[in-house]
């Protein structure tokens, strides 16, 4: 399907686990009609689930169009693709294999339709990694699943805030295994993926990137670990000789505490909590997760199912709304480059 840079992108939205806050934050975000001027929303899930939460939240004015013909979306409406026919019991706040299966069905449908070009990108609602994990989904999360599904080889989990972008060298792996994944090849690959996405998806022509150390005090010149001297520093030095603006390795605690992060376009953290603790502290309500390196645009809010809030009409939709905005922005940026080329 041919598109023009000015065309509103068709953004798929999966509801995530129906017993979590996904449906609530999707409804609340799309109730803001300013979004409709930027995108054509396509929800992958179930009208029954939406009706359940619409009633629970007393938002009866939240209306949508049921998609009856594949790919036939109304640009001025909220479109809903029903992804299953079975009755699914919804119990907000309760982990359930049944709702996990429904989350997977909606995710698979969104992936299928973005591959077919029916949608331009998609936003994923939070899943429960414990209940969804199994034979049909032997992955640690969305990122690993989508990397394989799109034959990307490698991707980069990138947390995106208003003035903060943090990418990860390692993602959902046990802490005791992290150091074995810190290789020259992997560190360089992740830095290069970050540089590429900053250029292509965020239109930063000469990105300045900071790299964090793995160990406390960035290894303290070998006293607290050798990864910095043997792996991280050589990679940084090699990339610098090639004209890249790569700096570090920095001790993670002082780097964020002193505000150094504001001087860089992107930051590479060595492991999940090293990057995400700082990111969520600084950008929780406005931050989102972006999977860089994929052929299709995928974003998500930077929170989980939040079962403790589910069904109480208390969850904030800020991150979900921002995930939709960022998906639109990246699609627009990619289109603009296609026109230029």
* Number of CB atoms found within 10 A of residue 282's CB: 19
The superfamily in CATH containing domain 157-292 is Isopropylmalate Dehydrogenase (3.40.718.10)
Mean pLDDT by 10 residues, the chain (341 residues): 69 98 97 91 97 92 94 95 93 96 97 98 96 92 93 94 95 93 97 97 97 89 87 97 97 92 97 94 88 97 95 95 97 86 52
- The upper half-sphere exposure of residue 183, i.e. CA atoms within 13 Å in the direction of its Cβ, equals 6
Q: In this structure, which topology does domain 1-152+294-341 adopt according to CATH?
A: Isopropylmalate Dehydrogenase (3.40.718)
Domain ranges (residues) in the chain: 1-152+294-341, 157-292
Domains 1-152+294-341 and 157-292 share a fold: yes
pLDDT tens profile 141-199: 899 999 999 999 899 999 999 889 999 999 989 999 999 999 999 999 999 999 999 99
């Amino acid at each position: 399907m041919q598109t023009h840079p000015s065309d509103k992108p068709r953004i798929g939205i999966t509801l995530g686990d129906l017993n979590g806050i996904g449906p609530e934050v999707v409804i609340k975000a799309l109730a803001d009609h300013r979004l409709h001027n930027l995108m054509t929303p396509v929800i992958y899930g179930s009208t029954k689930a939406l009706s359940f939460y619409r009633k629970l939240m007393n938002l009866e004015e939240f209306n949508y169009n049921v998609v009856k013909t594949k790919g036939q979306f109304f640009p001025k409406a909220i479109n809903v693709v029903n992804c299953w026919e079975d009755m699914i019991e919804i119990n907000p706040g309760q982990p359930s294999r049944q709702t996990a299966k429904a989350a997977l069905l909606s995710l698979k449908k969104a992936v299928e339709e973005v591959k077919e070009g029916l949608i331009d990108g998609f936003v994923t609602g939070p899943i429960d990694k414990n209940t969804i994990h199994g034979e049909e989904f032997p992955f640690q999360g969305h990122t690993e699943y989508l990397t394989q599904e799109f034959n990307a080889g490698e991707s980069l989990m990138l947390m995106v805030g208003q003035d903060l972008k943090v990418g990860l060298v390692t993602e959902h792996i046990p802490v005791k295994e992290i150091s074995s994944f810190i290789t020259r090849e992997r560190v360089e690959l992740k830095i290069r993926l970050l540089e590429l996405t900053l250029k292509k998806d965020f239109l930063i022509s000469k990105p300045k990137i900071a790299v964090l150390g793995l160990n406390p005090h960035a290894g303290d010149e070998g006293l607290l670990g050798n990864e910095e001297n043997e792996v991280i520093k050589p990679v940084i030095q090699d990339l610098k000789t090639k004209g890249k603006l790569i700096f570090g390795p920095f001790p993670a605690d002082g780097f964020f505490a002193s505000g150094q992060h504001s001087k860089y376009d992107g930051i590479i953290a060595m492991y999940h909590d090293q990057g995400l603790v700082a990111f969520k502290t600084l950008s929780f309500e406005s931050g989102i997760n972006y999977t860089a390196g994929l052929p299709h645009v995928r974003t998500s809010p930077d929170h989980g199912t939040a079962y403790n809030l589910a069904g109480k009409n208390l969850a904030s939709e800020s991150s979900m709304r921002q995930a939709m905005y960022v998906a639109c922005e990246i699609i627009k940026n990619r289109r603009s480059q296609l026109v230029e080329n």
